A and B are shown apart, each in its own frame.
Chain A
Amino acid sequence: NAGVTQTPKFRILKIGQSMTLQCTQDMNHNYMYWYRQDPGMGLKLIYYSVGAGITDKGEVPNGYNVSRSTTEDFPLRLELAAPSQTSVYFCASKTGGGRPEAFFGQGTRLTVV
C-alpha cells in the first residue's frame, strides 16, 4: 500500500518559472490537502479538496493553483515562481469520515533562485 506519493522530492526553480507538484493517493480518500512548511514553522494550508471536481483555498493560496479531476490525484501548480515560495511542500489525505488523522506524502523541497 503506497499511501500518498509526491513527486518530485527536490526541485530548484528560477524566478518566473512554473512547475507542477504531483500528488497521488491510493487509499480512496475523499479529502486532500496541500501544505507548505517553512523552516521552524508549522504547516500552512494552501489548497484543499473534498472530492473530485471540488477545490477551495486555504490560508496561503496566492501564487498557486490546484485541480482535482480524479479521487486519486491532486496536483499543485506554481505559476511565476518567486523566492517566497521556497519551502517544503506536503500533500496529505483523509478519509473524510470518522477518523480525522491525515496521511502525508514525503514532501517536496522546492528552492526558487
Chain B
Amino acid sequence: EDKVVQSPLSLVVHEGDTVTLNCSYEVTNFRSLLWYKQEKKAPTFLFMLTSSGIEKKSGRLSSILDKKELFSILNITATQTGDSAIYLCAADNTNAGKSTFGDGTTLTVKP
C-alpha cells in the first residue's frame, strides 16, 4: 500500500523564522514528489521534483528530493504571516497519475 508520512503535523513559529517540513514516502512506480499549499480552500501547487538531489527554489521556498532515502523536505526562510497554511506532500505514480497525499503540516506564523 502506498504511503506518505509528513512531520511535524503542526508547527508554530514567529515571523522571520526558518522552518523545515518533512515528507517520507513509499510508493510503487514512483514518478514525482509534489508539494501543495492549502489556505482554507483548495490546494495550490508549489513544487514538483522528479530527480534526486535537485533543489527547487521559488523565492523563500526551496525543496529537495532524496530518491535513495525516499524523502523530501520543504524549507521556508524568513517566514511571513502569509505563509500560514497547511502544506501537503504528495507522491505521484505512473498509474493514471494517482497521487498519495500525506496528512499535511499545519504551519502557523505569528507576527
Residues of chain A having any CB pair with chain B under 8 Å: 31, 33, 35, 40-45, 48, 50, 56, 58, 90, 94, 96, 99-107
Query: Do B42 and A99 have beta carbons less than 8 Å apart?
Result: no
Partner of B31, one of A45, A58, A100, A105: A100
Residues of chain B having any CB pair with chain A under 8 Å: 4, 6, 9, 31-32, 34, 41-45, 48, 88, 90, 92, 96-104, 106
Q: Which residues of A contact B98 (CB under 8 A)?
A: 33, 45, 48, 58
Considering the chains assembled together, what is the distance between the CA atoms of A101 and B104 in angstroms? 17
Considering the chains assembled together, what is the distance between the CA atoms of A41 and B9 in angstroms? 10
Query: Do A42 and B102 have beta carbons less than 8 Å apart?
Result: yes
Residue in chain A with minimal CB distance to B103: A42
Q: Which residues of A contact B34 (CB under 8 A)?
A: 100-102
Given contacts A43-B101, A45-B100, 19 further A-B contacts (CB under 8 A): A31-B96, A33-B98, A40-B106, A42-B4, A42-B102, A43-B43, A43-B90, A44-B101, A48-B96, A50-B96, A90-B43, A94-B97, A102-B45, A103-B45, A104-B42, A104-B44, A105-B42, A106-B42, A107-B42
